[in-house]
Amino acid sequence: MPTDEVVYDGRRLEIEIEPTVVMLNKPKGVITTARDPQNRPTVFDFIPSKTRLFPIGRLDKDTTGLILLTNDGELANFLLHPRHQIPRLYVCEIEGRLSPRIIAKMSKGIFIGDGEFGRCQVLRQNTVKKRSKVTLKLTQGKKREIRRMFSALKIRLFALHRIQYGPVKLGKLPAGRWRTLTSDEIASLRELRKRKGKTAG
């Protein structure tokens, strides 16, 4: 068991655990934490894993989509560290349409309070009637960054959904379902880590 202690010659030995990474399509209303004092559902209610996992970053309660969970602390630290600028892609539904001026402003940076600036790239925008679906690319990962940007711009945000983290894509995984990453996906994360490591060096 992972909680067992192995002692040899008076010294505690560390048990090597096979690295595991899974993705979950987080439904709305689910908390990204192990326990919730208000007894709301958490991401761990959807993953019956015997391995102790922890989320790589967070999605707020009302944000849906891709979240990665792992038992690999080094991988999590790499993906979360602001220095590495790991891209996250989101699709959001907003009221109206983003003007070229607003798109440029979002790319340059918007003051979102607490001494912080939110920044993102607008990759695509599709407008139907009075609503638009906008694909955004972020690399900072500040707390509730997208919501705070739209709040600062006084633009109503109806829905926010993450579709990609680094090279890993959510694809057609249904809401509330999870799966272990494929060997190719794991390899892509390792390659990204190797490439970023060379850049940092």
Active-site positions read 60
Asked if 76 contacts 56 with a C-beta cutoff of 8 angstroms, the reply is: yes
Asked if 64 contacts 159 with a C-beta cutoff of 8 angstroms, the reply is: yes
Instruction: Render the burial of 148-187: b for 16+ CB within 10 Å, e for the rest.
Output: bbbbbbebebeebbbbbbbebebeeeeeeebeebeeebbe
What is the Cα–Cα distance from 164 to 90, expressed in whole angstroms?
7
